[in-house]
Amino acid sequence: MYIIESYSLAVVFCIITMLCWGSWANTQKLAGKDWRFELFYWDYVLGIVLLALVFGLTLGSTGQAGRGFLVDLGQADIKSYGLALFGGALFNLANILIVAAIAYAGMSVAFPVGIGLALVLGVIVNYLSNQQGNPVLLFSGVALVVAAIVLDALAYRRLASTNHKNPRVGLMLALVGGFLMSFFYWFVAQSMSLEFSTPEVGKFTPYGAVFIFSIGILLSNFLFNTVLMKRPIEGKPLVMADYSAGKLPVHMVGILGGIIWCVGMSFSIIAAEKAGPAISYGLGQGATMVAAFWGVFIWREFRAAPKGTNGLIAGMFALFILGLGLIVYAGV
């Protein structure tokens, strides 16, 4: 299977993760206002599973190092399967709340608040399980990210006052989703061996872990998203006939969103051996900055905000960039 050999290349993979995780939500915007996020999400999950399978059968089955994808799936023990599946289910619940927050409040709010919180807690959880990297630099970077989250929340409160939406709804969806999101990576990391060349018996390689993780997302989606369709946060209840009524291009956009996200997840897990889970996860969650860029400058979600809001947004970007820089440098 393909394995990264250096820290510098691992950082490049984490940056690609950051770009993917920060950009996939554009596909929800592209699907159109009339295509509800609950319907979009079925295709998004399908895209995740398809990409995980393709990577497993290609990158995960190439070369002499490590263990082949199909062999890996056959030798893993029940505990590893359980951890990866639970990680997928936990991610799915968290991500549905984040996607709901995007639909309600926009990318420039849902990502900095929700994924920013996930970054902070996730770095702490993953560092405690595998203490790799300079803790002073790592947690200084985390502190700057916390400050950026606060600025973004303040900016959103100002915006919500102009569009007559309850700011608490968008913020709470993002915060609860972010809290849950901070733990899923730990379960996936625990299901796999961090020695990729000579993986531990009973545990997954990165490719096997990501695929079983994706199956956890798929299986749990029949529960979580079905409930959400029947009891939506906004709008009327939906049925599967509404999903079937969607045209092929709309479905393909959702699948593309899942593929983009799963490229990021796969690259983050592949980079975890050289970068360490805390840095790999933390840098990948720099997606908050990327998504905020899309939301602010491309989709112009703050165009109706009162004067003075731009200063808060600029401060958020500056703090995020400084914080992510420290997180990267912590592993050097």
Report how far residue 24's alpha carbon sits from residue 158's, in angstroms, rounded to the nearest whole number. Answer: 26
Report how far residue 178's alpha carbon sits from residue 109's, in angstroms, rounded to the nearest whole number. Answer: 12
Q: Higher pLDDT residue, 82 or 174?
A: 82
pLDDT, one tens digit per residue, over 52-81 is: 999 999 999 998 888 999 999 999 999 999
Report how far residue 84's alpha carbon sits from residue 89's, in angstroms, rounded to the nearest whole number. Answer: 9
The sign of the dihedral angle between the CA atoms of 22, 27, 33, 35 is negative
Lowest mean pLDDT among 103-107, 182-186, 296-300: 103-107
pLDDT score of 234: 79
Q: Higher pLDDT residue, 283 or 241?
A: 241
**Which residues are within 8 A (CB) of 102 and not within 5 positions of it... i.e. 6 or more apart?**
25, 28, 37, 110, 111
pLDDT, one tens digit per residue, over 108-156 is: 777 778 877 887 888 888 888 878 788 999 899 888 988 887 888 788 7
Report how far residue 277's alpha carbon sits from residue 117's, in angstroms, rounded to the nearest whole number. Answer: 17
Residue 332 banded pLDDT, cuts 50, 70, 90:
low
The DSSP string of 212-255 is HHHHHHHHHHHHHHHHHHHS-SSSS---HHHHHTS-HHHHHHHH
Report how far residue 5's alpha carbon sits from residue 148's, in angstroms, rounded to the nearest whole number. Answer: 33
Reported pTM: 0.84
Distances (CA, A) of 299 to 106, 271, 293: 9, 31, 9
Residue 161 banded pLDDT, cuts 50, 70, 90:
low
